[in-house]
Structure 1
């Protein structure tokens, strides 16, 4: 009888150890932001307003977490309508042909710093998929009357030319490097 109880306890412990938690991005408490150099003298800020994202975690840490995001390019917003329309055109994102960009994680690992992670994944823009690396600051979890939430900030820099966004090939007017800063809050499902 002792062996059966021990076996049941081990099975229960093993199952709970590998249990996954599903999270969905909360767009009311998140933002997908970018900035790029303009004429080498200033910065243009923008964001995407329409996106979905999920996160799958195992246990309390982000190690082995899986991220999956889809962003609607049509939702780009730089607070200048003419510029937004130009960004949607074939000069930049070619939104009619490529309406979405996606990110799928391949690996996340903790760094030596507390609450700091390196997130690797594949970013697809205009049908081109490239490996990217985000620096992630894990903000933690909170539980309240609205459920359980998890927060983080992720940052990276990409070269727009890598994704065939090659308007102004000299990058004198529009810089080639795009800084991405993402603030995320996820809701436990």
Structure 2
């Protein structure tokens, strides 16, 4: 009888210890889940979208050496993620619809959409995925990211001027930027050209990009 009671006592003690261990493990698991949830919430960045009614995505290129032709893309979209007031940690994801190219001349625009240039039927999008936004002076930044055009991706760096952040009359938070840079179109397979009698190129190879941007803070 005593041995039975002893065995029962040992079993009860064992079960009690196992229960305590299980409770401890559950408590640790719950704590870990709560910690991860807290960290995720604190790490969540503020999202900004492009206010297209107050933004422009433009380009300029030399024409016959003596002048320039300007154009823009009418259809684009993108987001900016940042949790710093100066946007120095900004992550940018941007996409342009190639078919929306507009140089104020429909015949020329159709040619630009053709395989001679952008080949919009096969390469419908131009994209930029930012990798870093480095502050280099007061309201001045170097924006580096992967730029994809005509199926070719290269890392490029653009100059950014931050105009500031304000609340508009309707209560929206807006941030303004001017982004500029130069790419060589032949690096991306856009090589169509002619040599004039003067020896100069009909169309320049360097393309100046200018983006005038207003971002709107997403609530």
Same fold per superposition (TM over 0.5): yes
* Structure 2 equivalent of residue 119 of structure 1: 143
Please state how far the C-alpha of 1:61 moved relative to its aligned partner: 1.5
Instruction: Tell me if structure 2 keeps the 8 A contact 1:19–1:59.
Output: no
SS in 2 for 1:142: strand
* Structure 1 equivalent of residue 111 of structure 2: 86
Count of aligned residue pairs for this structure pair: 176
* Structure 2 equivalent of residue 8 of structure 1: none
* Structure 2 equivalent of residue 43 of structure 1: 68
* TM-score for both structures, normalised by structure 2: 0.77
Change in CA separation of 1:116 and 1:173 when aligned onto 2, cut-off 3 Å: same
Indicate whether 1:188 and 2:211 are aligned. no
Deviates more, 1:59-68 or 1:93-102: 59-68
| Unmatched runs of 5 consecutive residues or more in structure 1 | 1-13
* TM-score for both structures, normalised by structure 1: 0.88
| Unmatched runs of 5 consecutive residues or more in structure 2 | 1-38
More helix by share: 2
Indicate whether 1:137 and 2:137 are aligned. no
2:47 to 15, 22, 33: 22
- Find the aligned partners of 2:147 and 2:93 in 1 and give their Cα distance: 10
- Find the aligned partners of 2:155 and 2:180 in 1 and give their Cα distance: 14
* Structure 2 equivalent of residue 9 of structure 1: none
Tell me how large the CA RMSD over aligned residues is.
1.7
* Structure 1 equivalent of residue 208 of structure 2: 179
Instruction: Tell me if structure 2 keeps the 8 A contact 1:63–1:110.
Output: yes
- Find the aligned partners of 1:159 and 1:172 in 2 and give their Cα distance: 14
* Structure 1 equivalent of residue 178 of structure 2: 153
Instruction: Tell me if structure 1 keeps the 8 A contact 2:194–2:202.
Output: no
Greater C-alpha Rg: 2
- Find the aligned partners of 1:133 and 1:169 in 2 and give their Cα distance: 29
- Find the aligned partners of 2:135 and 2:216 in 1 and give their Cα distance: 22
* Structure 2 equivalent of residue 95 of structure 1: 120
